[in-house]
């Protein structure tokens, strides 16, 4: 029987509520498909920070490296600055394992209401591909004269030709694999950022020449935001830098109904290291502990993990079960207008899985 070792970091806030539900789904999948998941739970995050002064231990990366994949809940705590939690856990993992492709699908499931009046189930079906290891998130910069009136902060973006080329190529390959509209939209702000984003545009144009079967479009990020609202159905694969694609993927999540449905994969496409799967949402302190967070984003992320592990049939089963629960429109958490609990929604998915 095949065994997959999965590192599990539930993290903070609602992360500790959605991860147990995703594990229940994976346990059921394991039974159906005669495989085993060996979960290794790591209690890293805010509580670890309060106790030890760091979000994860010094040897954390070495502990994660032998695993087949990482399943992450959420990071963030109201009593710790957000840059401390993010830079102490999530971002170092993405960089250490060169998870350069952050894949964030946004599909308007039948049965889910979009805030866009005209959008109907199936109308929106796009994937935001986010460069995940450099760009605006590069840990390069510093303060001078900290906390003084003359304080200076410098934050340097890092764009490399190699980094841009590989994420753009990934986006083109994904458009081919999806075989839907066969279109890639590249997002920059090269009118204002005349070095990094110009390098991005040039690289995009060069890579595009190798994909004559894929239609292309280059948009400034402000126009892209507008067009996500005005003509969301025209997008297929959307590729952008670390910051821009992060912002656009929140927008794409909300036009397909809820952040509670937004799944993501942080991939090392070369498979040298474990890839990491997480809901796009954060720790949501406002609803943490109430048992009402939507578990579907994490369950769909677990589905993406199955796909990455080569369990395509199982991944399809998870996605279909979630789609069926949403189409029934009976059991849903408050973010989707329902009154059910996190556990009840996961139960409904389990029922569909059989």
Q: With beta carbons less than 8 A apart as the criterion, state whether 197 and 224 touch.
A: no
**Contact range with ligand GGG by CB under 6 A, out of 49-57, 73-81, 158-166, 169-177:** 73-81
Q: Quick check: 283 binds ligand GGG (CB under 6 A)?
A: yes
Rounded CA separation 224/256 (Å) = 16
Q: Which residues pair with 215 in a beta bridge?
A: 183
Q: Using the rule CB under 6 A, is 240 a contact of ligand GGG?
A: no
Binding mask 156-195 for ligand GGG (x = CB under 6 A): ----------------------------------------
Q: Residue 255 gets which letter from DSSP?
A: H
Does residue 107 carry a catalytic annotation? no
Q: Is 250 a catalytic residue?
A: yes
What is the distance between the alpha carbons of residues 217 and 55, in angstroms, rounded to a whole number? 40
Q: What number of chain residues touch ligand GGG (CB under 6 A)?
A: 12
Q: Which token pair is 58?
A: 């010094």
- Counts for the chain of helices (H) and strands (E), in that order: 12, 12
Q: Would you call 12 a catalytic residue per the annotation? A: no
Residue from 9, 10, 4, 11 nearest 29 by CA: 4
In the region spanning residues 90 to 109, those forming contacts with ligand GGG, defined by CB under 6 A, are 90
CA 95 to chain centroid: 15
Q: End-to-end distance of the chain based on CA atoms, in angstroms?
A: 21
Nearest to 8 by CA among 322, 262, 276: 276
* By the rule CB under 6 A, 278 interacts with ligand GGG: yes
Residue in the structure block whose two tokens are 């102490």: 88
Which of 61, 63, 86, 96 contacts ligand GGG by CB under 6 A?
A: 86
Residue from 6, 14, 70, 75 that binds ligand GGG (CB under 6 A)? Answer: 75
Q: Candidates 42-50, 68-76, 144-152, 216-224: pick the segment binding ligand GGG (CB under 6 A).
A: 68-76
Q: Does position 279 bind ligand GGG by CB under 6 A?
A: yes
| 246 near ligand GGG, judged by CB under 6 A | yes
The residues assigned a catalytic role are: 145, 189, 222, 246, 250
Contacting positions for ligand GGG (CB under 6 A): 72, 74-76, 86, 90, 246, 278-279, 281-283
């Amino acid at each position: 029987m095949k065994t997959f070792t999965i590192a599990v970091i539930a993290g903070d806030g609602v992360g500790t509520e959605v991860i147990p539900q995703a594990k229940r789904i994976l346990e059921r999948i394991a039974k159906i498909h005669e495989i085993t998941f060996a979960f290794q739970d790591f209690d890293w995050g805010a509580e670890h920070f309060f106790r030890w002064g760091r979000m994860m231990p010094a040897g954390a990366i070495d502990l994660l490296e032998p695993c087949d994949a990482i399943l992450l809940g959420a990071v963030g705590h109201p009593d710790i600055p957000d840059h401390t939690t993010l830079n102490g856990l999530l971002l170092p993992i993405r960089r250490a394992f060169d998870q350069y492709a952050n894949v964030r699908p946004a599909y308007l499931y039948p049965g889910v209401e979009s805030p866009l009046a005209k959008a109907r189930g199936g109308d929106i079906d796009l994937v935001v591909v986010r460069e995940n290891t450099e760009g605006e998130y590069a840990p390069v910069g510093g303060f001078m004269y900290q906390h003084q009136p003359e304080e200076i902060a410098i934050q340097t973006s890092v764009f490399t030709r190699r980094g841009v080329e590989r994420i753009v190529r990934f986006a083109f390959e994904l458009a081919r694999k999806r075989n839907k509209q066969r279109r890639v939209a590249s997002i920059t702000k090269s009118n204002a950022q005349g070095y990094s984003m110009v390098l991005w545009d040039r690289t995009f144009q060069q890579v595009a020449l190798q994909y004559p079967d894929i239609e292309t479009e280059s948009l400034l990020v402000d126009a892209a935001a507008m067009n996500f609202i005005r003509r969301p159905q025209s997008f297929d694969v959307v590729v952008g830098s670390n910051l821009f694609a992060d912002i656009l993927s929140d927008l794409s999540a909300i036009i397909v109904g809820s952040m509670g449905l937004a799944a993501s994969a942080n991939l090392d496409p070369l498979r040298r290291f474990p890839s990491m799967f997480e809901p796009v949402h954060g720790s949501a302190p406002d609803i943490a502990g109430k048992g009402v967070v939507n578990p579907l984003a994490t369950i769909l992320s677990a589905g993406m993990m199955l796909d990455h592990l080569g369990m395509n049939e199982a991944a399809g089963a998870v996605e279909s079960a979630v789609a069926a629960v949403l189409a029934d429109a009976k059991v849903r958490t408050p973010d989707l207008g329902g009154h059910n609990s996190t556990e009840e929604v996961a139960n409904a998915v389990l029922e569909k899985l059989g």
